[in-house]
Structure 1
Amino acid sequence: MSDIISIKDINLAGKKVFIRCDFNVPQDDFLNITDDRRIRSAIPTIRYCLDNGCSVILASHLGRPKEISSKYSLEPVAKRLARLMSKDVIMAKDVIGEDAKNKATNLKAGEILLLENLRFEKGETKNDENLAKELASFAEVYINDAFGVCHRAHSSVEAITKFFDEEHKGAGFLLQKEIDFAQNLIKYPTRPFVAVVGGSKVSGKLQALTNLLPKIDKLIIGGGMAFTFLKAQGYDIGNSLLEEGLIEEAKNILTKGKELGVKIYLPVDVIAAQTCSQEAVMKYVPIQEIPAGWMGLDIGPASGRLFREVLADAQTIWWNGPMGVFEIDKFSKGSIKMSHYISESNATTVVGGGDTADVVARARDTDEMTFISTGGGASLELIEGKELPGVKPLKAKVIE
């Protein structure tokens, strides 16, 4: 299907394998992992390497640490992985320091070593080649199984691939699955194909919207980004989130939708409040009646019913972005309801990772969705048709 070198194309027998995973999991205030889907998703690739007599070095980032602190340690991940695999996981105290080097050197076949948070190294996010070279020196084979970071050119994702030839680098099972799925979704969707887009920013989703329009039949827009579209239609949106500079773009999308015969739906009512907090007084108002100084923070019940009708005949649904400020209970109803409607539909349902996957988990609908991507930004960029920096170096070169 894809021209990506797969882990199955590589002779792994008895080798040291470096696997870039995405263990960026949500944690509560006590650092307990609240959703281990990303850890579980990596297991097939790890098992496959162990079954081939390899020793495995795992690397991941967690959060956006400004400095080295135990709050961002991968220690809880090592514990959870060990439990899920019923197997010891050796934890390094650093990334490319003494401890990591010693442990990597002495790693025996069948053993698993997890390096400390990659972002403890400043060079990781700068795509630093020296860091990449150090990491590459740990192993003979490089496998990328971290779809969630493939849209970022980071040291452990992009620069590191320069130190491995085609026989010694490739994509893990999760990465392969994500890419195949996204490519098929866009090329051969069963119609009607409905895209549901939310979240706070239009800017991050503009390109995806523009690219999606010719391929979809209906578009539902919710979340904070809806207000820029409502403003473009001349509504008074009070203090709601607005991206002033994108009103023209929003108009273009609405016009282009009309030309293409794509039906575009926006909220007809909202839950408004004066401040974005759990204590705020809230009221349900039609979109025409947002009071001055108030802001819309979730879609209202009428919008929910409307969107449910829109989804009724869908055969493919792609969802990226919540319908409101779902982190606050008060404003989470619209997103939770949307999750229920999408999961109850008979369509092929595809959820872009990140926040949207969190909403689905909160709504307890995870098992009902056809496919939940492990990456938010990366799945957006794939849908946009971009070539991901982490995937490009894993493509087999075609000999002319």
Structure 2
Amino acid sequence: MTFATLDDAELQGRRALVRVDFNVPMADGEVSDDTRLRAAVPTIEKLRAGGAKVVLLAHFDRPKGKFVPAMSLAPIAPALAKVLGHPVAFAPDCVGKDAAEAVAALKPGDVLLLENVRFYPGEESNDAAFARALAENGDLYVNDAFSAAHRAHASTEGLAHLLPAYAGEQMRLELTALDKALGRPERPVLGIVGGSKVSSKLDLLRNLVTKLDKLAIGGGMANTFLYAQGHDVGASYCEKEMAETAREIIRLAGQNNCKLFLPLDIVVAEKMAPGAPARIRSLGAVDEHERILDAGPETVERLNRAMDNSKTLIWNGPLGVFEMPPFDKGTVGAAHHAAELAKAGKLVAVAGGGDTVAALNHAGCAEDFTFVSTAGGAFLEWMEGKELPGVAALSKQNKR
């Protein structure tokens, strides 16, 4: 997909409407994790350096089209100013007189954050009139919120049809990395999909077995596949009603020459608790009171060998209950191996999804991956092969 970037834009003196994702964790009225604020810095600084007036659009929480004081973006402005090392003005509205006056007061290089766009029902309904009201405060539109790109909202999709539209620096980074992983990857491509439920990742699995050369399934969903193959899973979490679906995915993988890796051995315990006595079991040797809580060492060793023989890795979901040692060993072991290969330039390793990011941070190796997406739902829908409205809109440029 081709899309315009800020390298293509005339910025001096122009009002840049920038969609960012500032839906950040808060504690006691203050930002408790500024990761998403820091992610927006390269785009904001590039616009400032080019002499643009930077007008930021964002949502926070789910006010459902009503003004909810507790969901105001006001506390974000000082937190962003601290990260930027530059003042950030705040307007108590995102459209209308207050927004217009705040935008009119800007000088080139200034930064303004407008109030929560979701205070208006027109945002989530992608109302044309609301999109036009937003567009009145900009000369160009920049989308830097890949994490919100799976939503066809006024500020993520509608605006791209009203103003010259560009991908921000974070958006460009994300789309380039994803293209390397699934769009035009270097083969062989290995996928790792973990997590608890097959039912929540059906579209993902069906798409990946048609795109990948190899796919490893771990976490609780692996239990369903093992059960579908006739293995006893004891007291493990298992979607037994999904057994036929699991067999269908196994058949689909075979038809598409995608080699499927299911566990060879497993780690079990009688209860899921930190430090609970854990045992390594071969398949089918699980007692009725035992739960499968992690991939076994033989499974991880085979997965590491598969990485050695791959050029690209795409990872979504942990291999076990990584939040609870000792059931983190499988995920941590595989993560370290992937990180080492990526750091050595032998593997393009792309990972994403909330649990995956947390697992890689737990393993202490997220920074060594080629790219780690914090996008959650958008990353998952992209892996499922679905069109993301916010991204698609950027590729349909309005020539002005």
TM-score per shorter chain, which class? 0.7 to 0.9
C-alpha separation in 1, matches of 2:104 and 2:195: 45
- C-alpha separation between the residues in 1 aligned to 2:80 and 2:379? 25
- Residues 17 and 254 (structure 1 numbering): CA distance in 2 closer, same or farther, change over 3 Å? same
1:390 is matched with 390
Are 1:256 and 2:255 counterparts?
A: no
Matched residue type, 1:61: H
Aligned length, in residue pairs: 392
Distance 1:113 1:19 in 2: 10
Structure 2 residue aligned with 1:358 = 358
Does the alignment pair 1:212 with 2:211? no
Q: 3-state SS of the aligned residue for 1:234?
A: coil
Q: For residues 49-80 of structure 1, what are the alpha-carbon distances to aligned partners after superposition, in whole Å with 9 as ceiling and x for unaligned?
A: 21222211112234456787676554554334
Rounded Cα–Cα distance in structure 1 between residues aligned with 2:170 and 2:351: 15
Aligned counterpart for 1:324 among listed residues 320, 335, 338: 320
Alpha-carbon distance change, 111 to 398 in structure 1, aligned in 2, over 3 angstroms: closer
1:97-136 alignment runs, 5 A limit:
99-136=98-135
In structure 2, do the counterparts of structure 1 residues 342 and 90 end up closer, same or farther at CA, with 3 Å as the change threshold?
Answer: same
Do 1:95 and 1:121's aligned partners in 2 also have CA atoms closer than 8 Å?
Answer: no
Are 1:179 and 2:175 an aligned pair? yes
Alignment match, 1:315 = 311
SS where residue 39 of structure 2 aligns? Answer: helix
Greater Cα shift, 192-201 or 26-35: 26-35
Tell me, in whole angstroms, the C-alpha distance in 2 between the residues paired with 1:230 and 1:262: 18
Query: How many angstroms apart in 2 are the aligned matches of 1:320 and 1:172?
Result: 25
Name the aligned partner's letter for residue 133 of structure 1: R
Regions of 4+ moved over 6 Å: 66-71
Aligned match of 1:53: 51
- Are the structure 2 counterparts of residues 212 and 147 from structure 1 closer, same or farther at C-alpha, using a change threshold of 3 Å? same
- Give me the identity figure in percent: 39
CA distance in 1, matches of 2:297, 2:28: 32
Cα separation, partners in 2 of 1:393 and 1:192, compared to 1, 3 Å? closer
Residue in 1 that maps onto 2:84: 85
Report deviation, 1:31.
Answer: 4.9
Mapping for residues 1-400 of structure 1, pairs under 5 Å? 2-26=1-25, 31-34=30-33, 36=35, 38-64=36-62, 72-75=71-74, 77-96=76-95, 99-162=98-161, 164-165=162-163, 168-244=164-240, 246-267=242-263, 268-274=265-271, 281=276, 283-284=278-279, 286=281, 287-292=283-288, 295-328=291-324, 331-345=327-341, 346-396=346-396
Inter-CA distance 245–398: structure 2 relative to 1 (3 Å threshold): farther
TM-score after normalising by structure 2: 0.84
Contact between 2:177 and 2:350, CA under 8 Å: does it hold in 1? no
Distance verdict in 2 for CA 1:115–1:231, change over 3 Å: farther
Greater alpha carbon shift after TM alignment, 342-351 vs 227-236: 227-236
- Report how far residue 32 of structure 1 moved: 4.6
CA distances 1:90-144 after superposition (whole Å, capped 9, x unpaired):
2334544765454234333221112344444454334344443332232222111
Q: For residues 77 and 233 of structure 2, what CA distance do their matches in structure 1 show?
A: 47
Once the 2 structures are TM-superposed, how far is the Cα of residue 183 of structure 1 from its aligned partner?
2.4
* SS across alignment from 1:393: helix
* Offset at residue 294 of structure 1 (A): 5.3
Output the amino acid matched with 1:365. C
Whole-angstrom CA distance in 1 between matches of 2:308 and 2:234: 32
Deviation at 1:255, TM superposition (A): 1.9
What is the distance in 1 between the residues matched to 2:394 and 2:44?
Answer: 18
Cα RMSD after superposing both structures = 3.2
Distance in 2, Cα, partners of 1:16 & 1:68: 26
Closer/same/farther in 2, CA of residues 103 and 30 from structure 1, 3 Å limit:
closer
In 2, Cα distance between equivalents of 1:89 and 1:284: 55
Q: What 5-or-longer segments of structure 2 have no aligned partner?
A: none
Cα contact 1:147–1:374 (8 A) shared by 2: no
Between 1:106-115 and 1:26-35, the stretch displaced more is 26-35
Q: CA deviation at 1:211?
A: 2.7
Give how far 1:342 is off.
1.4
